[in-house]
Chain A
């Protein structure tokens, strides 16, 4: 029977209350010895008769920890008199610190208990909750390596911090109203507004219809009540875009249908924005003109206190940024950039080290991998080399692989402008620094014009790393599975092997060798990206007929512009070719008159989906052709059928539903045929279009009906937030 030993526990063991937990267990089992934090491992030296039980107990870890391995080594020497927590040392950095965590119930009770030391304190937290990633500058995770460094503990906080029996034993974020960060209510210019209680006053201002910038964990939100939604959208210049709201669970369930799983997500410690189906699709139209609404529950002490003081049931809470630019994290920027948009600023003085947007989840799939979920760490064996995936250009993040783990950053955004490119670089540097990364291989998208591609080239040149390009949709499939499969990538835009724009692709093979075996019909994009902004151009590109010309004319297209469009398509002047699924949905949305200009990401397609939600789909005849030995689904025929039915007076919502359904059938049919031809039993699905509930479900059913296995990876976004991970997976097989 072992009565002494050194226990090494590796994994996410920092910032998760691991040492206090070990300390408590040592007391429980009468152990003597020490525990020490070594970066991403904890080293325990323990003496005692109940060593076995103690080992079992500590091997389970704390709620926030992730344990990769537990090893026991012999231990010599004499035991100390007691069990103590030692200062952190530096050690391996294979693990990682956990993401930010919503305020726990115990802390919430502290905040709301009259007479509690934490009563009404907005930044109350403990070992089980509070900010982590957003405040850390380096590991090991200790107070001096976080932005809490500037708030020395008062003596009651110090006592709790050092009391092994306390929930805040070694809680690095411990703070109270005496010693911790505090709130201030400011004018948009940054000057203080005299007030006794910033939260109470902010709540009153919100109730009165004012628009406030509110500094949260990973950045600023812009908040207002429902009645001010139109004004907010006007100020932001985003009149069509649905905005997320924050509400209590009770209010959420009145607004939307909430399934068991959705309730679990809403109340999880990650507290993402969950995209829910409204009970009445037409309700709350000033917030969202779709059949869905994004809702999150209060996740910080500040939010809880604000809601306690607020009369209205919900707040619109949208990230404070210009579309496509990083969320604002510091006060100087907020008071500079938000001057025309907000009436007041509710801020605090705890610096945000690492920006982190709210995560977004829909039907259990991650749309935006960020606060709470990220940095995401996955155990995966890609060999001994360090690999960096710099992601695509839109909805980008980065992934770093080393020593058996892939670490994916929070959402970075649209890497199309200098500030977001700088944020991408900063993310690579910060996370790379925290985990001590070095890159043998850097993987980028095949698109020659992506800024991330340029960045990858520069970084590879500077570091001597090997540079690899991976085609966008192959990265999608690699992110879905490493097994041999038929891969369906249904997506917006990705640069293809042949220089055309892909986005409705069927592959066959195993990472990284995916053959393109089938795709959607290749159609022109008149004016390139202009056709993405104005989906009616896409429509005319696909159906350059007199009827469509007349349709556009009847909608007010000037004759002159129609003439230019016509000639452009006829002469193929500044026209790109695409097999994109997103662009086909855009064209259908335009045909049905649902969207004429895209003012936010995916607008035409989500409006089509919202219309289809109200309609009933019918199976149409599908047309398939071939090109260069690959099967091609004729999207021209699909749109032509939709047009015929429109002319025949069929309901728009039914046509919308049928377009989606038959597109899904066409894509699935090609995948099933490819599976049968190649004797492959598994079909994987990825790409942003897979968020469309109706399309995803129809594809799934067709695949299952064919007796094939259906694979989707719910750990990463289906959209481009999985690309950096897929790049790294491909890089692991390609770069050898």
Chain B
């Protein structure tokens, strides 16, 4: 079998590739390791929980409404630390740059990284740079790794039946913004990416109540993340369609293209399973933060193994992990 693009698109097909790539015996440094496929690893060290994660970024276009590849490179790693409960401390950065890349663009990218670091109090402390021939690479690749420290580690598999599901804000913004910008769609108004570092938001939420599970709905979107949380926790989840926050322009653009906004990436959102008694307090904490103004209670953890959405018209449907391309099924 050869690797194809579907293998990188998230969802079930990517799972097959991951099984190969993660086939390591040496995969756990004592806490949470690669085998968990969580947002990051946890290494207990001298009574502290060190959280460690890495992410490579190849977004096209590199500049888009609401952000750029530099901001994503920082936020992707910071958020993976944050959703483990980790305060981001330090990041590394590896850049692979194609020959001919504009230095002015590099300057913009680095400035943007610096700004994102400042927002969450992290520092980029080490790096590596390679320049490749034009023919070897058609865009810049930025890899970041990061370490953080978690007082309480929060997994993505900790949902308990009865928990309240909260999203920190609107869904689908980043994915639709990138699509619109890359393909040149005119939706009549600009759709902006939500790319943001979430540590301070999550810090506030952790202080407000008992959070049993967290995940950032990046690749594969909400649909992928919520299914992973349910699957790993061994629970079902019921989502109320009417409570899902989706921006009007995102909904309308997705509607025109036949795309489900729940299946596209977010870069500044977190999904949480919260002890029901603390849900309102956590919600209030999220809403009082600039990145959590649109936070909403969207569902409940139930017995079972599926993620089911109660639709606005009184029906029910499964939310399934997305596959790469649309596969029509209406006869």
A residues apposed to B, CB below 8 Å: 237, 322, 324-325, 337, 392-395, 416-419, 421, 447-451, 491-495, 499, 501, 525-533, 560-561, 563-565, 567-568, 571, 573-576, 578, 582, 601, 688, 720
Residue contacts A-B, CB under 8 angstroms, 11 given: A394-B329, A448-B323, A501-B327, A529-B326, A532-B330, A564-B185, A564-B256, A568-B257, A573-B183, A574-B325, A575-B326
Q: Does B331 contact A395, Cβ atoms closer than 8 Å?
A: yes
Taking the complex as formed, is B128 at the interface, i.e. its CB lies under 8 A from any CB of chain A? no
Q: Does A576 contact B308, Cβ atoms closer than 8 Å?
A: no
A720 to B313, CA, bound (A): 26
Q: In the complex, which residue of chain A has the Cβ closest to the Cβ of B13?
A: A448
Taking the complex as formed, is B200 at the interface, i.e. its CB lies under 8 A from any CB of chain A? no
Chain B residues within 8 Å of A525, by CB: 328
Which 6 A/B pairs are nearest by Cβ-Cβ distance? Answer: A527-B258, A530-B258, A528-B326, A492-B331, A394-B331, A532-B330
A366 to B10, CA, bound (A): 42
Chain B residues within 8 Å of A451, by CB: 318
Taking the complex as formed, is B188 at the interface, i.e. its CB lies under 8 A from any CB of chain A? yes
A325 to B325, CA, bound (A): 27
Q: Which of A418, A560, A563, A575 contacts B316 (CB 8 A)?
A: A418
Given A526-B258, A574-B257; A567-B316 close (CB under 8 Å): no
Chain A residues within 8 Å of B187, by CB: 560, 564
Binary interface profile of B, 296-331, with partner A (CB < 8 Å = 1, else 0)? Answer: 000000000010100001111110100101111111
A585 to B253, CA, bound (A): 27
Chain B residues within 8 Å of A492, by CB: 330-331
A491 to B331, CA, bound (A): 8
Q: Which residues of B202-236 have CB atoms within 8 Å of chain A's CB atoms?
A: none
A560 to B253, CA, bound (A): 10
Binary interface profile of B, 148-187, with partner A (CB < 8 Å = 1, else 0)? Answer: 0000000000000000000000000000000100011111
Given contacts A418-B306, A493-B328, A530-B257, 20 further A-B contacts (CB under 8 A): A322-B315, A394-B329, A394-B330, A417-B318, A418-B317, A418-B318, A493-B331, A499-B327, A501-B327, A526-B258, A528-B327, A529-B258, A529-B330, A531-B258, A532-B328, A563-B185, A563-B186, A573-B185, A574-B326, A576-B325
A285 to B37, CA, bound (A): 59
Q: In the complex, which residue of chain B has the Cβ closest to the Cβ of A419?
A: B316
Chain B residues within 8 Å of A421, by CB: 318
A448 to B13, CA, bound (A): 11
A480 to B266, CA, bound (A): 48
Given A449-B323, A528-B326, A560-B188; A573-B318 close (CB under 8 Å): no
Chain A residues within 8 Å of B29, by CB: none
Q: Which of B183, B186, B256, B329 contacts A393 (CB 8 A)?
A: B329
Chain B residues within 8 Å of A337, by CB: 314
A568 to B253, CA, bound (A): 12
A573 to B326, CA, bound (A): 10
Q: In the complex, which residue of chain B has the Cβ closest to the Cβ of A527?
A: B258
Most buried by A among B186, B323, B329: B329
Main secondary structure of the interface of A (DSSP, over half): mixed
Q: Does B328 contact A576, Cβ atoms closer than 8 Å?
A: yes
Q: Which residues of B244-299 have CB atoms within 8 Å of chain A's CB atoms?
A: 253, 255-259
Q: Does B258 contact A574, Cβ atoms closer than 8 Å?
A: yes
Q: Which of B256, B314, B320, B330 contacts A322 (CB 8 A)?
A: B314
Q: Does A493 contact B256, Cβ atoms closer than 8 Å?
A: no
A688 to B331, CA, bound (A): 9
Chain A residues within 8 Å of B258, by CB: 526-531, 574
Most buried by B among A395, A421, A532, A574: A574
Q: Does A560 contact B186, Cβ atoms closer than 8 Å?
A: yes
A102 vs chain B, min Cβ distance (A): 31
Chain B residues within 8 Å of A416, by CB: 317, 329
Chain B residues within 8 Å of A573, by CB: 179, 183, 185, 257
Most buried by B among A421, A527, A567, A575: A527
Chain A residues within 8 Å of B313, by CB: 237, 322
Q: Does A449 contact B329, Cβ atoms closer than 8 Å?
A: yes
Chain A residues within 8 Å of B325, by CB: 574, 576
Q: Which of A395, A495, A526 contacts B327 (CB 8 A)?
A: A495
A395 to B255, CA, bound (A): 26
Q: Does A447 contact B257, Cβ atoms closer than 8 Å?
A: no
Q: Which of B184, B306, B327, B329 contacts A567 (CB 8 A)?
A: B184
A417 to B185, CA, bound (A): 32
Chain A residues within 8 Å of B331, by CB: 392-395, 491-494, 582, 601, 688, 720
B242 vs chain A, min Cβ distance (A): 17
Given A567-B183, A567-B184; A418-B327 close (CB under 8 Å): no
Q: In the complex, which residue of chain B has the Cβ closest to the Cβ of A325?
A: B315
Q: Does B184 contact A449, Cβ atoms closer than 8 Å?
A: no
A711 vs chain B, min Cβ distance (A): 23
Q: In the complex, which residue of chain A has the Cβ closest to the Cβ of B184?
A: A567
A481 vs chain B, min Cβ distance (A): 22
Chain A residues within 8 Å of B316, by CB: 417-419
Chain A residues within 8 Å of B184, by CB: 567
Q: In the complex, which residue of chain B has the Cβ closest to the Cβ of A558?
A: B188
A727 vs chain B, min Cβ distance (A): 16
Q: Does A578 contact B328, Cβ atoms closer than 8 Å?
A: yes
Q: Does A449 contact B186, Cβ atoms closer than 8 Å?
A: no
A595 vs chain B, min Cβ distance (A): 15
Chain A residues within 8 Å of B317, by CB: 416-418
Q: Does A528 contact B323, Cβ atoms closer than 8 Å?
A: no
Chain A residues within 8 Å of B326, by CB: 527-529, 574-576
A492 to B186, CA, bound (A): 32
A395 to B331, CA, bound (A): 9
A582 to B330, CA, bound (A): 11
Q: In the complex, which residue of chain B has the Cβ closest to the Cβ of A323?
A: B315
Chain B residues within 8 Å of A501, by CB: 327-328
Q: Does B330 contact A449, Cβ atoms closer than 8 Å?
A: no
Chain B residues within 8 Å of A531, by CB: 258, 328
B22 vs chain A, min Cβ distance (A): 22
A542 vs chain B, min Cβ distance (A): 15
A451 to B318, CA, bound (A): 9
Chain A residues within 8 Å of B186, by CB: 560, 563-564, 567
A582 to B326, CA, bound (A): 18
Q: Does A448 contact B327, Cβ atoms closer than 8 Å?
A: yes
Most buried by A among B316, B328, B330: B328
B133 vs chain A, min Cβ distance (A): 29
A450 to B318, CA, bound (A): 11
